[in-house]
Amino acid sequence: MTDRVYIEDVFQHKIPDGSDVILRGWLYNKRSSGKLLFLLVRDGTAVIQATVYKPGVSAEIFETADKLTQEASLTVIGKIKKDERAPGGYELQVTDVKLIGQSVDFPITPKEHGPEFLMDYRHLWLRSKNQHAILRVRHTIIKAIRDFFDGRGFTLVDTPIFTPAACEGTSTLFETDYFDTKAFLTQSGQLYAEAGALALGKVYCFGPTFRAEKSKTRRHLTEFWMVEPEVAFNELKENMELAEDFIEYIVQTVLRTRVEELKTLGRDTTKLQNVRAPFPKIHYDEAVKILEDAGLKFEYGNDFGSPDETAISEKFDRPVIVHHYPSAIKAFYMKRDPNEPDKALAMDVLAPEGYGEIIGGSQREDNYDMLVSRIKEHNLPMEAFDWYLDLRKYGSVPHSGFGLGVERTVAWICGLQHVRETIPFARMIHRLKP
Amino acid sequence: MTDRVYIEDVFQHKIPDGSDVILRGWLYNKRSSGKLLFLLVRDGTAVIQATVYKPGVSAEIFETADKLTQEASLTVIGKIKKDERAPGGYELQVTDVKLIGQSVDFPITPKEHGPEFLMDYRHLWLRSKNQHAILRVRHTIIKAIRDFFDGRGFTLVDTPIFTPAACEGTSTLFETDYFDTKAFLTQSGQLYAEAGALALGKVYCFGPTFRAEKSKTRRHLTEFWMVEPEVAFNELKENMELAEDFIEYIVQTVLRTRVEELKTLGRDTTKLQNVRAPFPKIHYDEAVKILEDAGLKFEYGNDFGSPDETAISEKFDRPVIVHHYPSAIKAFYMKRDPNEPDKALAMDVLAPEGYGEIIGGSQREDNYDMLVSRIKEHNLPMEAFDWYLDLRKYGSVPHSGFGLGVERTVAWICGLQHVRETIPFARMIHRLKP
């Protein structure tokens, strides 16, 4: 009996050379040379070259193979043969081909298409080699994220999507009718993760988050995945150390396990190899000095814009952590430094090569009265935070955490210009389909 | 220098007996006996008994310890000591105690509280032993789910939360303004996972899903996590086999790694030990026969209600798979059996002990014309499915998948009556806070 196999298993030498096998998949591409027909067959795990030799098969089989069109689905039977020259190191010598499903005028041809066209056909665009590579790297990054925290004894605390109140103001919130009241879609699981950290010590939440931002940039999605660790008794220093170990782990895991995919994407990995802890850590004031020295126009006290972040990160050979941002530009829940009361115990990690902020975090305000003042100063509705204030009422402790955006991390590691390709079905201001 | 340690590491013999250590955590409970004060200290990883011997510490330290209230946060310094009688096998002989944060009148006392009260204080209820056990089992289940698919070469395809159309009708959908249009919150990632399967062969999506169901039962949440694998070329048979292997893997992983937690929850694990593939697989007609034999009132052609599911599952010593449901009661995308055209190639997995359906799945309709008819029959808007129909236009193949609800699985494995405790912050019809 001939077994059905996956191409990936062939390439990983799991199938003995010379085996007769059945492949099921789709026609990726085709070319012919005299009596030979070369079918590039993909089955989702990889692409193999299947060779049909005219004198070796019946006229009927050859005709079936010859008529196959791009993305037709098919069963191919044949013998696998080691061949150094073939992509993947193996080819399939075809003895039989059966068409399963036709594919007439597949919309995405090997020619160039504009990004809007490709996004309209995202459900089919996913079949291309580059998109496979990106999604596999994304998968590896997500797995590395979970493995990192699981391996360090963190407990997963899935935080709610429906929330009764806004964490950082309501202007960019999606809203929905929730029976007889209103609910907002979460922008961050942090406040809930804090409750988790005070219960379970070390926790992380990891799920989709939402921002109704009208900005149409290459770095914004309305729906994106974010992981947020939160650790009881961690202060700013430990928070920065956790962040650098975390990023090192993600990047080195991808470099170790996704070499082929990064090659497919043409990613220059030399700069990724440098991503090793410890990262340089600079005070906000030092970062401002870098901007001044570079001759950039920047007003002290402001947040950094995209060109500022690029100018700062260019000074270093790996990600850089900027800490002690002015409290005035940071969220209400960030603790101020007692020694520098106008600065928050905040930190951002800036990725190299112009990819900007990939992590934002802080030590949290753990004093009840201070937190009440902050909520008032920010004109936030006190009643929405009664439960959150309880965390400072019953056994408050210093604690810290941060958030990492998955899509920006994928864009950086894959070397992509735009985040729209970093998620299977991107959602943006003008994009809700397919 | 004395190191700060986690209690879990002490219990796992990672800290040499007799070491001087620092613990940071909260007071879980306290009792005294003459000159001895027993502090039960929790740090999120476990609970240790810390013994303060009055003659061995200063009067000030003893007073600090004596005045500690439930959930006060504290630093305890002392020597760890192996002690067979102590929970966890170790106790801490205290040399110093420092109060970090007070806790006056912690709302949840060791006495009984009603479920509504506990849910109002969910952010604090999470600190209890049973909730720790449930959340750890939940974490293990989620990790097992991902490990199972990752280990079998599936690619993670995160499907969108915002969707332009309803997968199975609009009556139970949450809706939001999406800039100048409307978006619905997803009830299932399946249609998108199908696009993924035809691109990547074997995929799974795993994220929160939403149902605006008005039902106030112990099995419904408005927001719940669902994992949905989808495999190209799998037919009903392979789909059922994947489901049984999957459930066996989850249950056996929990039994192997979460013994203590299941004991804390008082779970009788004998019935879980039986959860081994293959599962019994019965045709819908056979399931109806079981109901008739049991004397239950049931009209042929209907879907099973909760008492029906219990009656069916009671006949077996492990989960049972029911297949070939009437097509009329199943979703439009389910393929009909060519040999039994009134039946769908659908299958549900029913958990034992009255826990009911935990998996629902099917082979999908892969014929373009048939799918168009189904969409029309179900009065669904054709234009919403143009991209989905493309999957049958360009290289269609047989494919199958299913969905498993995380919270029902956690409830079953933990032996809980109500799903509200299976997720950190449950969302139900009357529950949006905290």
Residue to mutate among B9, B103, B150, B161, with most A CBs inside 10 A, is B161
Question: What are B18-50's pLDDT values in tens digits?
Answer: 999 999 999 999 999 989 999 999 999 999 999
Residue to mutate among B100, B187, B222, B425, with most A CBs inside 10 A, is B425
| Closest alpha carbon within chain A to B423 | A158
Among the partner residues B123, B156, B201, nearest to A44 by beta-carbon distance: B201
The pLDDT of residue B57 is above 80: yes
Residue to mutate among B106, B123, B223, B390, with most A CBs inside 10 A, is B123
Report the pLDDT averaged over residues A8-31: 96
Token couple for B320: 């049972």
- Do the chains contact at A210 and B104, CB–CB below 8 Å? no
Taking Cα atoms as reference points, which of A329, A113, A362, A108 lies closest to residue A230?
A362
Q: pLDDT at position B235, please?
A: 98
Phi, psi of B277 (to 5 degrees): -75, 150
Q: pLDDT at position A216, please?
A: 80
- Do the chains contact at B199 and A434, CB–CB below 8 Å? no
Q: Would you tell me the crossing angle of helices A129-151 and A236-257 to the nearest 10 degrees?
A: 140
Among the partner residues A43, A104, A135, nearest to B155 by beta-carbon distance: A135
The pLDDT of residue B365 is above 70: yes
Q: How far apart are CA A368 and CA A328, in angstroms?
A: 19
- Do the chains contact at B160 and A223, CB–CB below 8 Å? yes
Among the partner residues B142, B161, B395, nearest to A103 by beta-carbon distance: B395
- Model confidence band, residue A214 (pLDDT cutoffs 50, 70, 90): confident
Q: Which H or E run includes B254?
A: helix B236-257
User: From the CA of B69, how many Å to the nearest CA of chain A?
Assistant: 9
Report the pLDDT averaged over residues A317-332: 97
Prediction pTM value: 0.97
- Do the chains contact at B174 and A179, CB–CB below 8 Å? no
Q: Would you tell me the crossing angle of helices B190-200 and B386-393 to the nearest 10 degrees?
A: 30
- Model confidence band, residue A167 (pLDDT cutoffs 50, 70, 90): low
- Do the chains contact at A44 and B232, CB–CB below 8 Å? yes
Q: How far apart are CA A371 and CA A379, in angstroms?
A: 12
List CB contacts (< 8 A) between A143 and chain B: 146, 150, 156
DSSP state of A188: -
Tell me the C-alpha to C-alpha distance, in Å, between residue A164 and each of A70, B170, B193, B220: 50, 24, 31, 20
Q: Of the CATH numbers 3.40.630.90, 2.40.180.10, 3.30.2020.10, 2.40.50.140, which one belongs to the domain with range A7-101?
A: 2.40.50.140
Among the partner residues B4, B161, B198, nearest to A223 by beta-carbon distance: B161
Among the partner residues B153, B176, B207, nearest to A8 by beta-carbon distance: B153
- Angle among Cα A140, A229, B224 to the nearest 5 degrees reads 75
The pLDDT of residue A330 is above 70: yes
- Model confidence band, residue A170 (pLDDT cutoffs 50, 70, 90): low
List CB contacts (< 8 A) between A132 and chain B: 199-200
CA-only gyration radius of chain A, Å: 26
Strand, helix or coil at B357? strand
Question: What are B144-177's pLDDT values in tens digits?
Answer: 999 999 999 999 999 999 999 765 666 789 999 9
Tell me the C-alpha to C-alpha distance, in Å, between residue B216 and each of B212, B213, B310, B430: 11, 8, 19, 9
Question: What are A144-154's pLDDT values in tens digits?
Answer: 999 999 999 99
Question: What are B324-346's pLDDT values in tens digits?
Answer: 999 999 999 999 999 999 999 99
Among the partner residues B44, B181, B388, nearest to A432 by beta-carbon distance: B181
| Closest alpha carbon within chain A to B386 | A434
| Closest alpha carbon within chain B to A108 | B394
User: From the CA of B13, how many Å to the nearest CA of chain A?
Assistant: 15
Residue A347 C-beta-side C-alpha neighbours within 13 Å? 26
Q: pLDDT at position B215, please?
A: 78
Chain A, chain B: beta-carbon pairs less than 8 Å apart: 257
User: From the CA of A297, how many Å to the nearest CA of chain B?
Assistant: 34
Domain(s) labelled CATH 2.40.50.140 in chain B stretch across 7-101
Phi, psi of B377 (to 5 degrees): -55, -40
Q: How far apart are CA B237 and CA B363, in angstroms?
A: 9
Question: What are A252-273's pLDDT values in tens digits?
Answer: 999 999 999 999 999 999 999 9
Taking Cα atoms as reference points, which of B132, B13, B47 lies closest to residue A155?
B132
User: From the CA of A258, how many Å to the nearest CA of chain B?
Assistant: 13
Token couple for A67: 């008529």
Q: pLDDT at position A363, please?
A: 98
CATH number of the domain at B122-421, please?
3.30.930.10
List CB contacts (< 8 A) between B71 and chain A: 394-395
CB count in 10 Å sphere of residue A13: 11
In contact, B364 and B335? CB cutoff 8 Å: yes
Among the partner residues B150, B159, B162, nearest to A424 by beta-carbon distance: B159
In contact, B290 and B312? CB cutoff 8 Å: yes
User: From the CA of A401, how many Å to the nearest CA of chain B?
Assistant: 16
- Do the chains contact at A177 and B181, CB–CB below 8 Å? no
List CB contacts (< 8 A) between B200 and chain A: 44-45, 126, 132, 135
User: From the CA of B288, how many Å to the nearest CA of chain A?
Assistant: 36
Residue A236 C-beta-side C-alpha neighbours within 13 Å? 22
- Do the chains contact at A200 and B135, CB–CB below 8 Å? yes
- Do the chains contact at B199 and A392, CB–CB below 8 Å? no
pLDDT > 90 fraction of chain B, expressed in percent and rounded: 93
Residue to mutate among A29, A123, A129, A213, with most B CBs inside 10 A, is A123
Domain(s) labelled CATH 3.30.930.10 in chain B stretch across 122-421
The pLDDT of residue A111 is above 90: no
Report the pLDDT averaged over residues A299-322: 97
Q: Would you tell me the crossing angle of helices B386-393 and B368-377 to the nearest 10 degrees?
A: 150
| Closest alpha carbon within chain A to B128 | A199
| Closest alpha carbon within chain A to B197 | A44
- Do the chains contact at A155 and B139, CB–CB below 8 Å? yes
- Model confidence band, residue B218 (pLDDT cutoffs 50, 70, 90): confident
- Do the chains contact at B225 and A132, CB–CB below 8 Å? no
Q: Specify the amino acid at residue B147.
A: D
User: From the CA of A92, how many Å to the nearest CA of chain B?
Assistant: 19
Phi, psi of B195 (to 5 degrees): -60, -40
User: From the CA of B297, how many Å to the nearest CA of chain A?
Assistant: 34
- Do the chains contact at B103 and A164, CB–CB below 8 Å? no
Q: How far apart are CA B321 and CA A6, in angstroms?
A: 28
Question: What are B117-132's pLDDT values in tens digits?
Answer: 999 999 999 999 999 9
Q: How far apart are CA A186 and CA A161, in angstroms?
A: 5
Beta bridge partners of A149: none
What letters, b where the CB count within 10 A reaches 16 and e where it falls short, cover A119-139? bbbbbbbbbbeebbbbbbbbb
Phi, psi of A73 (to 5 degrees): -95, 145
Residues 6+ apart with CB under 8 A from A84: none
Among the partner residues A160, A395, A423, nearest to B71 by beta-carbon distance: A395
User: From the CA of A152, how many Å to the nearest CA of chain B?
Assistant: 11
Beta bridge partners of B346: B362
Q: How far apart are CA B2 and CA B25, in angstroms?
A: 16
List CB contacts (< 8 A) between A8 and chain B: 153
Q: How far apart are CA A311 and CA A144, in angstroms?
A: 29
- Do the chains contact at A208 and B208, CB–CB below 8 Å? yes
Report the pLDDT averaged over residues A67-86: 96
In contact, A3 and A22? CB cutoff 8 Å: yes
User: From the CA of B387, how many Å to the nearest CA of chain A?
Assistant: 6
Q: pLDDT at position A171, please?
A: 75
- Do the chains contact at B143 and A138, CB–CB below 8 Å? no
- Do the chains contact at A397 and B233, CB–CB below 8 Å? no
- Do the chains contact at B100 and A6, CB–CB below 8 Å? no
Report the pLDDT averaged over residues B84-100: 95
User: From the CA of A322, how many Å to the nearest CA of chain B?
Assistant: 27
In contact, B231 and B202? CB cutoff 8 Å: yes
Q: pLDDT at position A219, please?
A: 86
Q: How far apart are CA A96 and CA B407, in angstroms?
A: 47
Q: How far apart are CA B266 and CA B414, in angstroms?
A: 9
Q: pLDDT at position A215, please?
A: 78
Q: How far apart are CA A180 and CA A48, in angstroms?
A: 56
